[in-house]
Structure formats: structure tokens, C-alpha cells
């Protein structure tokens, strides 16, 4: 899975909140989009970067992501993004993977059993 990560520096640009629903409409119609996520930053724990919002668009593959961004809806979403942020935005493409804690714990249990074959602590 690949994703486009959109880092928005400020949501206080004039008109940002007018553009946001239009951006979402365009982004949600990008061909190949599997899901999206929005995170509003409440606090920076370390570092001197200041972002107000992170928005992520997930695709099955890098070619799907690239084709989606090149589509009319992708181009429109990009234009709206530039307009609503006055260019104060960073875009990243990432190879995305994730795992559920249930699955991770299963492998930790197998590892613990392998290290303790007698079953005693």
C-alpha cells in the first residue's frame, strides 16, 4: 500500500475552511483511493516543525497513487490544496504498512514459548 501524506502548516489561511469541503470532495473521487485519514495536530512533542493538519490518501500501489493524482480529480484536489494553503504545504509519498497489536502479541507469545520450552518462568 502507498499513501500521499499532506502536511498543512496552517488552517488559518483566509478561505481555508471554505476550500476544505471542496478539496475533500475532489480527493474522495480520485480513482484508486482506498481510504483517507485526517489528523489535526494538537501538540508538537519534539522538533521545530509546525503543522496544523495531516491528511493521508491511501492507494493499493504506487502506480495507482500516481495515476490517481494525474486524474482530473487528482489535479483538482492539488489545485484546491495549493489555493487553500497559499502553498504552505508539504507532500510526501510513502510505502505504508501496519499491523494490529493482536497479531504482534501472537508473535511475541510464540517467541516467548520458543525461549522457554519448559513453560517455567
Q: pTM of the predicted model, to two decimals?
A: 0.81
Residue 110: its pLDDT value, please?
A: 62
User: What band does 95 get if pLDDT is binned at 50, 70 and 90?
Assistant: very high
How many helices (H) and strands (E) the chain has is answered by 4, 4
**Residue 56 domain flag:** yes
Extract the C-alpha cell encoding 19.
476550500
SS3 25: helix
Q: What does the block give as the cell for 7?
A: 502536511
Selected residue with higher pLDDT from 4 and 49: 4
Domain count, the chain: 1
Return the pLDDT at 67.
98
Q: Quick check: is 111 in a domain?
A: yes
Query: Looking at residue 111, what is its pLDDT?
Result: 66
- Position 94 pLDDT exceeds 90: yes
Q: Does 61 fall in a domain?
A: yes
pLDDT per residue over 6-32, tens digit each?
A: 999 999 888 899 999 999 999 999 999
- How does pLDDT run across 43-79, given as a tens digit for each residue? 989 988 889 999 999 999 999 999 999 999 999 999 9
Positive or negative, the CA dihedral 79, 82, 84, 90 is positive
Cell of 51: 503543522
62 in any annotated domain: yes
The widest CA-to-CA distance across the chain, in whole angstroms, is 67
Q: Do residues 8 and 52 lie in contact, with contact meaning Cβ atoms separated by under 8 Å?
A: yes
SS3 43: coil
25 inside domain: yes
* Residue 57, domain member (yes or no): yes
Q: Is the pLDDT of residue 119 over 90?
A: no
| Residue 121, domain member (yes or no) | no
| Residue 120 within a domain | no
CATH number at 13 reads 3.30.70.100
Domain of residue 37, residue span: 2-115
Amino acid at each position: 500500500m502507498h499513501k500521499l501524506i499532506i502536511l498543512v502548516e496552517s488552517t488559518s489561511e483566509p478561505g481555508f475552511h471554505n476550500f476544505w469541503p471542496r478539496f475533500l470532495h475532489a480527493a474522495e473521487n480520485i480513482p484508486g483511493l482506498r481510504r483517507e485519514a485526517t489528523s489535526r495536530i494538537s501538540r508538537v512533542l519534539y522538533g521545530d516543525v509546525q503543522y496544523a493538519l495531516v491528511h493521508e490518501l491511501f492507494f493499493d500501489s504506487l502506480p495507482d497513487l500516481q495515476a490517481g493524482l494525474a486524474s482530473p480529480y487528482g489535479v483538482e484536489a492539488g489545485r484546491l490544496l495549493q489555493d487553500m494553503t497559499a502553498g504552505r504545504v508539504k507532500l510526501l509519498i510513502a510505502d505504508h504498512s501496519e499491523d494490529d497489536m493482536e497479531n504482534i502479541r501472537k508473535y511475541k507469545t510464540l517467541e516467548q514459548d520458543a525461549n522457554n520450552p519448559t513453560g517455567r518462568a
